[in-house]
Amino acid sequence: MKKQIKIFDTTLRDGEQAPGCSMNLHEKIEVAHRLELLRVDIIEAGFAVSSPGDFEAVSAVAETVKSCTVASLARCSAADIDAAYSALKKAVSPRIHVFIATSDIHMRHKLKLTPEQVLETTERMVRYAKSLCPDIEFSAEDAMRSDPDFLARVVRTAIKSGATVINIPDTVGYSTPQEMRAAIEKLRAAVPECEEVDISVHCHNDLGMATANTLAGILGGATQAECTINGLGERAGNAPMEEIVMAIRTRPDLYPVETRIDISQIYMASKTVYGIIGKTAPFNKPIVGANAFAHEAGIHQHGVLADRSTYEIMTPEAIGIPSNRMVLGKHSGRHAFQDRLSQLGFELSREDFENCFNRFKELCDKKKEVSDQDIEALVRNLLPEEDNSYFKMKSYSVHAGSSEAATAVIALEIGEEVREEVALGNGPIDAAYKAVDKIIEPPEYIFEDYAIQSVSEGKDSLGEVVTTLGYGGRLFTGRGLSTDIIEASILAYVNAQNKLMDYYKKRQAAEAVLPEG
């Protein structure tokens, strides 16, 4: 029987904290749903003590997810551990994930603690966490730049204090596969107690070796791999879940282990995460990129037509890229639409289903055929609506020509009031955005990015627009969807401004209650 490798997914914690990858509560629940469909073993839902929003997200995921362990990160401090425990109370299977740095550079410059103080803190805080929750993961931050003998002492202390999982992170992506395998093997030899717990590896991709290092750690004896969907994470990111899982699946001769991941859900999980953060997969991204199963060279095409295994080491169908599709159109009813949603892995509330079905019918009047990509985009663009509590587009009129400035007339609903403004601009989008700004009067922000892409093929394709605004050191991403790219652009901009305004108002409220001086 093959050894089982647990998959610990930290998309909602390490992935989400990367610049430009923040998610609201509704979006985090959607990602958690996708992770549960993937059958990951552990979902790290956030860092509960870091903000009220993170606490709320961890609590919501803990209450929603039923078939995975749900973890919250915590520093080795009582306040962090208390917050994590409180957020995880409703989880079917909770885990508190505590960490402390163990490398000389981190202990000296960041913690300003001696090695003996780190050992004492580890013992005290792991023991405290264990008193609250039976499943405790301990991470030695920057383990791969730590003194191996000291690391062994810390790990032994954590296990004796109650840790059930020991994580050895390559926090800054400094290691190589040979080093990672040797480090895990040496640690297991030096600390026999490791045989009683799971050994985990958490690799960053700063040198492009996160996947290779993770697989090397598994060869060294690690029984848990920490990763994210699409490799999201700090700096250059984390080890991508899809690469680790498919490497294990494709090369059983090298990796005599298995995971419980349902690989048929990989593609949809990847698309969901990219869609939520307003990005697309690099065309050459392994496993999920547009070119991963594309063949242009004649010799390759000839080989694939003769036998797909000549140039494909896995099939697109295996990871959930459909080889066929059911055509939906204006004559399709609720049952067919619901069935297709289920096949795509979407579970909508009755209200969201009706909303999505009505938008589907509207789209059918504009397009002859509605593709799976169109349906995915319709559902994806339902998610941000919880943020649309300030402004909603009522109507727009845009005029542009080659010999005159563009003019836009925009009407927005603000509560029960409708406000309308007109503006000139350098093109229709610029004019429309200026008119929106005149209505809402936002705080001073930075316009970071504007991106547009077709959702499917054909000249009647839906256009999906993503706008990114910067304010207060944070990024706010808005999405809009329409067969009219002007409308999609305005919807995206209003969505981003709603998120920015929500943050702005909450920050103002928090500052108002701070004591003076």
Q: What is the pLDDT of residue 517?
A: 45
Q: What is the pLDDT of residue 514?
A: 54
Q: Which of 47-56, 180-189, 259-268, 355-364 has the lowest mean pLDDT?
A: 355-364
pLDDT tens-place string over residues 18-40: 888 888 898 899 999 999 999 99
Q: How confident is the model at residue 387 (pLDDT cuts 50, 70, 90)?
A: very low
What number of helices (H) and strands (E) belong to the chain?
Answer: 16, 16
Report the mean per-residue pLDDT for the chain: 90
Most confident of 136-140, 283-287, 311-315, 454-458: 136-140
Q: Which run of H or E residues covers position 373?
A: helix 372-380
pLDDT tens-place string over residues 308-318: 777 788 888 89
Strand ranges of the sheet holding 404-414, from the earlier edge strand across to the other edge: 392-401, 404-414, 417-425
Mean pLDDT of 434-459: 88
Domain locations in the chain? 3-276, 334-380, 384-510
Q: Which of 72-86, 135-149, 317-331, 427-441 has the lowest mean pLDDT?
A: 317-331
Of 84, 153, 72, 168, give the one whose Cα is nearest residue 117. Answer: 153
pLDDT tens-place string over residues 451-507: 998 877 666 678 889 999 999 888 888 888 888 899 999 999 999 999 899 888 888
pLDDT at position 13 over 90:
yes
Collapse the DSSP code of 416 into the 3-class scheme (helix H, G, I; strand E, B; otherwise coil) and give the result.
Answer: coil
Residue 469 sits at φ, ψ, to 5 deg, of -115, 145
SS (H, E, C) 104-163: HHHHHHHHCCCHHHHHHHHHHHHHHHHHHCCCEEEEEECHHHCCHHHHHHHHHHHHHCCC
The Cα–Cα gap between 174 and 210 comes to: 10
Of 466, 291, 456, 277, give the one whose Cα is nearest residue 376. Answer: 456
Contacts of 36 (CB under 8 A, 6+ apart): 43, 65, 66, 67, 68
Q: What is the pLDDT of residue 189?
A: 97
Q: What is the pLDDT of residue 116?
A: 97
pLDDT tens-place string over residues 217-245: 999 999 999 999 999 999 999 999 999 99
Q: What is the pLDDT of residue 404?
A: 81
pLDDT at position 327 over 80:
no
Contacts of 95 (CB under 8 A, 6+ apart): 42, 69, 70, 71, 72, 88, 133, 135, 136, 137, 165
For the CA atoms of 503, 507, 508, 512, the dihedral, rounded to the nearest 10 degrees, stands at: 160
Q: What is the pLDDT of residue 315?
A: 87
Q: Which of 128-142, 194-208, 408-422 has the lowest mean pLDDT?
A: 408-422
pLDDT at position 66 over 90:
yes
Share of the chain above pLDDT 70, in %: 93
Mean pLDDT of 200-219: 98
CATH 3.30.160.270 fits 384-510, yes or no: yes
Q: What is the pLDDT of residue 305?
A: 66
Residue 384 sits at φ, ψ, to 5 deg, of -75, 0
Q: What is the pLDDT of residue 363?
A: 83
Of 53, 37, 159, give the one whose Cα is nearest residue 45. Answer: 53
CATH topology (fold) of 3-276: TIM Barrel (3.20.20)
Q: How confident is the model at residue 301 (pLDDT cuts 50, 70, 90)?
A: low
Phi-psi region of 46 (alpha: psi -120 to 50; beta: other; left: phi over 0): left
Q: What is the pLDDT of residue 390?
A: 86
